[in-house]
Amino acid sequence: MTRTSTIAYEFTYRYAMVPLELASACRKVHSALTGPKARQQNEIEEKSLHEVWDALEKSWKDFDNLRILGTSGNVHEEDVDRYIHGWQVRQAVVSLGFLLFIFSFVDLHLRVP
């Protein structure tokens, strides 16, 4: 393998892995809030919530770190920014949905009948 193809492979790998890690974080959100184990409980596990927030925060930072990786001559800088911003918007929507679900869950369970 030549140096150029090695750099291209590493570049592609890093840009592909970050969205996959975000998908993993989304699965953690689902598992913590609406998965089978969560549905059987009356409370949300605090540990699960911390894991979800940590995964979402790591994902956000990983997208920001792609800027440091640069373009390696393969793509234009504005394409990199568009890619990163596009995924961060999706992540923000997931995070907002997560918060709204938490607040509605807490509200339903704190109401006095």
User: Mind listing the pLDDT tens digit for each residue in 42-96?
Assistant: 777 778 878 888 888 888 888 888 887 776 676 788 888 888 887 776 666 666 6
pLDDT score for 92: 65
Q: What is the mean pLDDT of the chain?
A: 75
Distance from C-alpha of 89 to C-alpha of 111, rounded to nearest angstrom = 33
Q: Which residue has the tokens 């990199």?
A: 80
Dihedral over alpha carbons 10, 15, 20, 21 (to 10 degrees) = 90
Tokens of 95: 């995070």
